[in-house]
Amino acid sequence: MSTYFKYPRTPHLPWSISVSSDDLSKKSVSVFAGVDVVVTEKMDGENTTLYQNHLHARSLDSRHHPSRDWLKQWHGGMAHTIPDGWRICGENLFARHSVSYQQLGSYFYGFSIWNENNECLSWDETIEWFAMLSIHPVPVLYKGLWDEKTIRELAVDTDKQEGYVVRSAGKFHYDEFSQRVAKWVRADHVTTDKHWMHSEVVPNGLRSKNDKSS
């Protein structure tokens, strides 16, 4: 029987602006001291996990929603390339949420890959696998030794970007997630009165095939 894993909740960095009552706050960033990290854009989509034989949103019992139809079709054509027991996590960006994207390279952007031992691959390994699987990675904003000042001062266009995610660049186990990953989210991130799943599905925009920019 296959084992499926719910993507963990990501703690907020101490200076994250948008923290609700049910969010996890990270009181200290000392766990990142002396660690090589990668900071990636936090894209405004639906957290989705892909397996060789299944896919689901953050909830393991995800019900049908029209915003997931494109991803199911795309996954059907590439699922056989995912190693047995592995899973790929990323954002389903088909439906517009609070951020409107007009130049996406795909409606799915990956941010992590987990192996049969429930380990998150190092970022360099992840990028190698994304290239082999033709998966767009989320944009990288910073890569290097943890530097709080530099990361706090990252240029984020809050009209077009939800925030960013910091993760250890190396491999780590699922049980270590809360010590290896944290996020910063813009203030008042949700700008609509109605949840996107209960609204008409408005697709985000894809860039022209002639535009080779990343």
Residue 166: how many CB atoms within 10 A of its CB? 24
CA pair distance 119, 23, nearest whole angstrom: 24
What does each C-alpha distance from 155 to 8, 160, 161, 162, 214 come to in angstroms?
27, 12, 10, 12, 18
CATH match of 33-196 with 3.90.1150.10: no
Per-residue tens of pLDDT for the chain, all 214 residues: 478 999 999 999 999 886 665 556 776 899 999 999 999 999 999 999 999 999 999 876 666 778 899 999 999 999 999 999 999 999 999 999 999 999 999 999 999 999 999 999 999 999 999 999 999 999 999 999 999 999 999 999 988 999 999 999 999 999 999 999 999 999 865 555 555 555 688 999 999 876 655 4
